Chain A
Amino acid sequence: MQSMTSVPLSWYLILSAILFALGVAGFVIRRNLITVFMSIELMLNAVNLSFITFSYQLKQVDGHIFSFFVMVVAAAEAAVGLAIILAIFRNRSSLQIDDISSMKY
């Protein structure tokens, strides 16, 4: 508790924003599917962090509950996403994201 109060609220939020921005940048810039996938996880957890921060600040439990939901969904998403990545790799022997562009007009 003591340590929490010593760190201002804005720091948490700035960290969360930096993590989220890193996630977005990774998603947009990186070409490896697994890295892109990890970027998504990073964004989710950045959001989790800001949820927890606000929950703590406002002394309400809603943010905790939300972050649990996000974790559960993230776990499910990770399972499905990894399965898809595996299937793609088996089919194309490649994890380059720009190779997977057949879904267009």
Chain B
Amino acid sequence: MINLLFGRRLPKIAVSGVAIGSVLLSFLWVLNVLSGLGGLEEAHIERYFTWIQSGDFNVGFDLMVDRLTAVMLLVVTGIGLLIHIYSSGYMAHEEGFSRFFAYLNLFMFFMLILVLAANYLVLFVGWEGVGLCSYLLIGFYYLKKSAGDAGKKAFIVNRVGDFGFSLAMFLIVVTFGTLDFARVFAQAKDMPVEAGVGTLTVICLLLLLGATGKSAQVPLYVWLPDAMEGPTPVSALIHAATMVTAGVYMVARSSVLYLKAPLAMDAVAIIGLVTAVLAATIGLAQNDIKKVFAYSTVSQLGYMFLALGVGAFSAGIFHVVTHAFFKALLFLGAGSVIHALEGEQDMRLMGGLRSKIPVTFATIFCAAVAIAGVPPFSGFHSKDEILLAAHHHAPWMYWVGVVTAGMTAFYVFRAIFMTFFGSYRGHHHPHESPWVMLGPLCILALLSLGGGYIHIPHFLEPLFPLAEGAHEPTLVYISVAAGLAGIGLAWLMYVAQPGLPDAIAGSFRGLYTLVYNKYFVDEIYDAAIVHPLRDGSRSVLWKGIDEGVIDNVVNGVGRSARNVGSVLRVMQSGYIRSYATWVVLGSVIVVAAISFLGGSR
């Protein structure tokens, strides 16, 4: 708030100071509160005030901390702090420095509301709030048309999801008479597991629709890659580490409902799996470094949904945390590369940067091995839990997951090799980023490497029972092998034999074009939804209803008033005596009418 009001007059150092300071304070506060609350075996609820009261229906502005919230709080404030520090370096030469930090802080506020909420409505407030900030930050470079369009796209696509979320809330109110997490879940626990499609299943599917919007799942994932129009720290914070995991958080929070609706669980798992595969294949052929990571994010989010869908809620949250570490690092590293090349994002114009920006290279390499699932780094631990849970649920999901893991490793290392190996193909003079940017990178690198040893599923055990399923070494070896194979293939194609990719693209031209153009999903949506809507709006709503009906009614009222007036104005002679005559005449008529028609009695 301070930044928004006074930002223009303050020097940049004060602006970033206030912004970083507030996030640092909230991070320390979270640490303090968590240590104060001890083990958090039970949820701790703070009730502030009654917000909406209507008959028996009550919604309070209540906040809640339990172990799930604690994990999310630490991630949000911790990563948020690092990214704020990084941004103060990255955005140093940009216009709208204070605006940027004001939006970023507003985002932090809403994100904390979201994870702290103790009922669905407060969660929805945070949910919409982060959506708003996402829109503002995607369209941050508002002079660029593509940025504005991307912002609008994100906002509109999210509306579809929010529509589902709202309907789900209405259904919850109707079914349970409350929106409080505690009371809803207490009632839901006593309900039987639904075999077919019952109320709970419908609620869960609607919530899932909301989650697919926010967390960029099929079919609503299209906004996320476009969201890369925003500044890179925003991509890291909002579109990789925190906001997009809100859907995962919400589904995990509602796990009690989902466990009673197996059909909805299957839907979650399948959507997750489809998203993971689809996005990974698109990621294979992108040339913009941020687009690669964006599709990677979509794909990893798909993994998280897969985890939720197969009942491994804690593994899903675990992957949220590790993903926040390494994906934030990947984006910040990409930002550092872009910064070094003064805004160049096309990987075909990079290369050989390994020696020019060694710290960035080292940190981004850590993130890459983490996401590829190489043991013993963080991505290995969480991805492994998910894959094992998937195998326990249905082996084919495991195999699809493994293939996707291989593709993940391939495209991330493809990006690394194209950027940092070979010879330099651009025209700028790369320079290493300042330490205010490299510091957060290094911390995140450490977290990416070691984050897997923070055993979050164990911490979350009071909320979600650990997914059973033997720790089968063969399965682990297979998934690791897939990751390594991906890396090896990327090495072969982009370092050892650089001509190979073009040859392959040449021999599979149709497939390559399909993947390169993202399966033409945007075009399909454009043709199937946007065009009919626009044409329908133009011909029916604009020409037909607006001009034909509404305009005619409005103009007609005006016209008839004028016509009546032009008749009546003859009476406005200006002579008092003529007015008086009219009055007398009128009263005579009234009196005569009353007396002839019999009066009141």
Q: How many B residues face the partner with a CB closer than 8 A?
A: 10
B57 at interface by CB-CB < 8 Å: no
| B residues in contact (CB < 8 Å) with A | 569, 572-577, 580-581, 584
Contact of A98 among B569, B575, B580 (CB under 8 A): B575
Complex: A4 Cα to B69 Cα, angstroms: 94
Do B576 and A100 have beta carbons less than 8 Å apart? yes
Give the interface residue-count category, chain A: 10 to 19
Residues of chain A in range 1-57 having any CB-CB distance to chain B below 8 Å: 24, 27-29, 31, 36
A104 at interface by CB-CB < 8 Å: yes
User: Known: A24-B584, A28-B581, A28-B584. Contact between A97 and B576, CB under 8 A?
Assistant: yes
Contact of A101 among B575, B580, B584 (CB under 8 A): B575
Do A104 and B580 have beta carbons less than 8 Å apart? no
Complex: A24 Cα to B580 Cα, angstroms: 8
Within 8 Å CB of A100, what residues of B?
576
Could you show 9 A-B contacts with beta carbons less than 8 Å apart? A24-B584, A27-B577, A28-B580, A28-B584, A98-B575, A101-B573, A101-B574, A103-B574, A104-B573
Contact of B574 among A27, A31, A102 (CB under 8 A): A102
Contact of A27 among B569, B573, B580 (CB under 8 A): B580
Q: Produce 1/0 per residue, A67-97, CB < 8 A to B.
A: 0000000000000000000000000000001
Complex: A98 Cα to B572 Cα, angstroms: 13
Chain A min CB distance to B290 (Å): 69
Further pairs besides A31-B577, A101-B574: 8, Cβ < 8 Å: A24-B584, A28-B584, A97-B575, A97-B576, A98-B575, A101-B575, A102-B574, A103-B574
Complex: A17 Cα to B409 Cα, angstroms: 107
Do A105 and B581 have beta carbons less than 8 Å apart? no
Complex: A99 Cα to B282 Cα, angstroms: 89
Closest to A103 in B: B574
The 10 closest A-B pairs by CB, nearest first: A101-B574, A104-B574, A105-B569, A104-B572, A105-B572, A28-B580, A27-B580, A101-B575, A103-B574, A28-B581
Chain A min CB distance to B570 (Å): 9
Complex: A24 Cα to B576 Cα, angstroms: 13
Within 8 Å CB of B584, what residues of A?
24, 28
Within 8 Å CB of B580, what residues of A?
24, 27-28
Chain A min CB distance to B551 (Å): 28
Closest to B573 in A: A104
Closest to B568 in A: A105
Within 8 Å CB of B577, what residues of A?
27-29, 31, 97-98
